[in-house]
Structure 1
Amino acid sequence: IDDIKQALRMKQIEEEDHQKRIVNTRRTIEDLKVELDKLGDQLDTTLLISAISVELKEIQERTARIEAEKADLRRERDNVIAESRSLQKKLNDMNNLMNMKEEKLRTRHRDTHTALLWLRENRQLFRGNIHEPMMLVINVKDHQNAKYVENHISFHDLRAFVFQRKDDMEKFLVEVRDKMNLKVNAISAPEVSCSGRPPSRNIESMRRFGFFTYLREMFNAPDEVMSYLCSQYKVHDVPVGNEQTKALINTVIQEPYLKVLYTTDERYTVKRSIYSNKTSTSNSAVQKSQYLIITVDAEERRQLEQQLRACESKLQEIDERMKTLQTEFAALNRHENELLSEKK
Structure 2
Amino acid sequence: MSSLIQKNNLIQILIWLSLLLLLFVGFFSSEPEEGSTNRSEDLLIISLIWLSMITASYTALYLHTKLFQNQRYVLFGGAIVLALVGIVFSVRTLSVLLLESSFIQSFYSDLVSYSFVMGISIGMRYAKQGLLDRYLLQEMQAQLLKAELDTLKSQINPHFLFNTLNNIYGVNLTDPEKGSEMILNLSEMFRYFLEAQKWDKVTLGEELELIRNYIALERMRLTPANRIELKVQAEVPSRLLPPLLLMPLIENAVKYGVQPGKATTISIDIQQGKQELTLTTLNELHPNHRTASTRTGLKNLSERLERLYPGRFTLHSAAAGNRWQAKLIIPL
TM superposition score normalised by structure 1? 0.27
Larger Rg belongs to: 1
Give 1 or 2: higher strand fraction.
2
Query: Higher relative contact order at CA 8 Å, sep ≥6: structure 1 or structure 2?
Result: 1
